[in-house]
Amino acid sequence: MKIAFFDTKDYDLPSFGKFAKERNIEFKFFETRLDEDTCGLARGFDGVCVFVNDDVSAPVIDKLYEYGVRIIALRCAGYNNVDLKACFGKIHVVRVPAYSPYAVAEHTMALLLTSVRRIHKAYIRTKDFNFSLSGLTGFDLHGKTVGVIGTGKIGKIFIGICRGFGMNVIAYDKYPDPKADCAYVSLDELFRQSDVISLHCPLSEETYHIIGEESIPKLKKGAIILNTSRGALIDADALLDGIKRRIVGAACLDVYEEETDVFFHDFSGHIVEDDTLARLISMPNVIVTSHQAFLTEEALENIADTTTQNLLDFGRGAHLENELCYRCGRVEDCMKERKERCF
């Protein structure tokens, strides 16, 4: 099987190289992202392997289909960049539903601790032999209330970590899980009570700008916002305004609404055009990492393992355990639940 691999990063090569050899899959690694201009590179390939910022919209899908592509393998969990409806009946879509929820949950806590204990400032100071403690006063997490939005795989692990710190945990989920170790409340109640809010829900029409102009005035004064999920869950301009008005006490962002043209690239020495991002980064109480929450050795191994297994299953005509279709969760007689392909 020949697969065109888009948006290749150096960290992809060891793990995908290993599994490609073991499973006899031929990858052609392209540095460029998939979009309407680059999709011609996939001509003659059986499938494409894509990541979070590749453009898998309807025009791209139509062209891929015309070029003979029959499978899109996402090497990530989120799929908001794929038009599943446009794929239906033409190209199968598979993903990696879980590769290391620990990686993302642990990174979320790392960001929170960095922010509240001012580690980002202390690190730079001591590198310069400045041992002053001025302005480094933090606060205890113990006894504080964390509001978790989305109590799926990552949310649940983050809840466990917060419990370890002695935090009170409240949560909001559209589909509450009675087994989750938290008290479910309404969104408004969560906004009102939480000292820290962490986003672990998918990006959808319903969750778009869940933190935005409407919700920010409802927050507890000084609340810390953590986002390791998807950028557009937060309206970045409204967040900036909330920070300036001292409603939001701090923000830790691993994802950003307009990250596509910025994240994963080295812009040091260049002028960043995005004024909102530049202003956010200039704030002393904002920490930005560039979509790295997933980036652990364990996660990379699992991503390559599941992605190549998905491709292998497709190649031998088997049921696709990790297939996605626009009807997922919406139809009674689900083909996937019957262990058949979605079409």
- Does 255 bind ligand NAI (CB under 6 A)? Our answer is yes
Per CB under 6 A, the segment of 41-49, 114-122, 172-180, 238-246 that binds ligand NAI is 172-180
Q: Is 291 a catalytic residue?
A: yes
Q: Collect all residues with Cβ–Cβ distance below 8 Å to 250 and sequence separation of at least 6.
A: 115, 116, 224, 225, 285, 286, 287
- Does 128 bind ligand NAI (CB under 6 A)? Our answer is no
Alpha-carbon span 75 to 342, nearest angstrom: 19
x/- letters, 141..160, toward ligand NAI (CB under 6 A)? --------xxxxxxx-----
Residue in the structure block whose two tokens are 């997490």: 141
Residue of 32, 80, 25 lying closest to 231 (CA atoms)? 80
Task: Please say which residue, 6 or 172, places its beta carbon nearer to ligand NAI.
Answer: 172
Q: Where are the alpha helices (DSSP H) in the chain?
A: 12-23, 58-66, 84-87, 101-116, 119-127, 153-164, 187-193, 236-244, 275-282, 297-315
Per CB under 6 A, the segment of 22-30, 124-132, 134-142, 167-175 that binds ligand NAI is 167-175
- Does 87 bind ligand NAI (CB under 6 A)? Our answer is no
- Does 78 bind ligand NAI (CB under 6 A)? Our answer is yes
In angstroms and rounded to an integer, the radius of gyration of the C-alpha atoms of the chain is 21
Q: How many residues bind ligand NAI (CB under 6 A)?
A: 30
Q: Which residue is nearest to ligand NAI (CB)?
A: 152
Give the shortest CB-228-to-ligand NAI separation in angstroms.
Answer: 4
Per CB under 6 A, the segment of 16-24, 39-47, 199-207, 314-322 that binds ligand NAI is 199-207
Alpha-carbon span 139 to 328, nearest angstrom: 43
Alpha-carbon span 327 to 307, nearest angstrom: 22
Strands 168-172 and 145-149, sheet pairing = parallel
Residues 209, 232: contact at Cβ < 8 Å? yes
The active-site residue, picked from 33, 230, 257, 323, is 230
Sheet of strand 2-5: strand arrangement: 26-29, 2-5, 47-50, 71-74, 92-94, 323-324
- Does 242 bind ligand NAI (CB under 6 A)? Our answer is no
Give the shortest CB-281-to-ligand NAI separation in angstroms.
Answer: 18
The active-site residue, picked from 33, 200, 257, 259, is 259
Positions annotated as catalytic residues are: 230, 259, 291
Instruction: Give residues in contact with ligand NAI (CB under 6 A).
Output: 77-78, 98, 101, 104, 149-155, 172-175, 200-202, 204, 206-207, 228-230, 254-255, 291, 293-294
